[in-house]
């Protein structure tokens, strides 16, 4: 897709954030929770031109639009390995915009690259990465009396 600014983007309109949508529906079935979802593919598709120099700036822009929302938890999800830098930018920006929130990551990237994220890159902005499917681990995290203790003890979180 080519935008009015002449830049081409490989963002199919059919890519949906199925993981986050599934987790949101699952959580709402069991707990009273408000979920806000930012689908960056949809956001970029809706723009005539992308006035950002990099993905971090785009991420910051959309997070700042939701800055009044004060989440206890921020989840960042990414499936495809070419999105690795974007996954990291989203996590970094989430912690910058909501420093008091627990920032967690999920999807194929953290499941398969957690050692690179923590050990090799020294990442400090993700408070935890979900290993495998996220519906039940997120539910248990939201239900935990002490979220940090739950994260430390759970096999589902790294």
- Is the per-residue pLDDT at 4 higher than 80? no
pLDDT confidence tier of residue 40, bands split at 50, 70 and 90: confident
Q: Tell me the β-bridge partners of 75.
A: 104
CATH code for the structural domain at 18-153: 3.40.50
Q: Give the DSSP H or E segment for 92.
A: helix 84-97
What pLDDT shows up at residue 6?
65
Q: Map out the domains of the chain as residue ranges.
A: 18-153
Among 111, 130, 99, residue whose Cα is nearest residue 23: 130
What pLDDT shows up at residue 2?
64
Q: Give the DSSP H or E segment for 64.
A: helix 55-65
pTM of the model: 0.85
> Is 91 within 8 Å of 105 (Cβ atoms)?
yes
Q: What is the pLDDT of residues 60-117, one digit of tens each?
A: 999 999 888 999 999 999 877 778 999 999 999 999 999 999 999 999 999 999 999 9
> Is 136 within 8 Å of 126 (Cβ atoms)?
no
- Pseudo-torsion of CA 20, 102, 95, 76, nearest 10°? -20
What pLDDT shows up at residue 138?
96
Rounded to 10°, the helix 108-115/84-97 angle is: 90
DSSP-derived 3-state class of residue 101: coil
User: Phi and psi of 4, rounded to 5°?
Assistant: -60, -25
């Amino acid at each position: 897709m080519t935008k009015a600014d002449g830049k081409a983007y490989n963002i199919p309109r059919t890519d949906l954030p199925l993981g986050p949508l599934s987790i949101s529906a699952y959580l709402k079935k069991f707990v009273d929770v408000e979920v806000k979802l930012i689908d960056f593919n949809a956001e970029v598709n809706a723009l005539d031109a992308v006035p950002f120099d990099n993905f971090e700036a785009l991420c910051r822009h959309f997070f700042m639009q939701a800055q009044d929302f004060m989440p206890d938890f921020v989840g960042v999800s990414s499936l495809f390995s070419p999105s690795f830098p974007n996954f990291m930018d989203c996590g970094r920006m989430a912690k910058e915009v909501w420093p008091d929130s627990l920032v967690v990551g999920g999807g194929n990237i953290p499941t398969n690259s957690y050692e690179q994220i923590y050990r090799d890159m020294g990442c400090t902005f993700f408070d935890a990465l979900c290993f495998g499917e996220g519906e039940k681990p997120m539910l248990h995290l939201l239900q935990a009396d002490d979220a940090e203790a739950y994260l430390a003890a759970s096999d589902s979180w790294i």
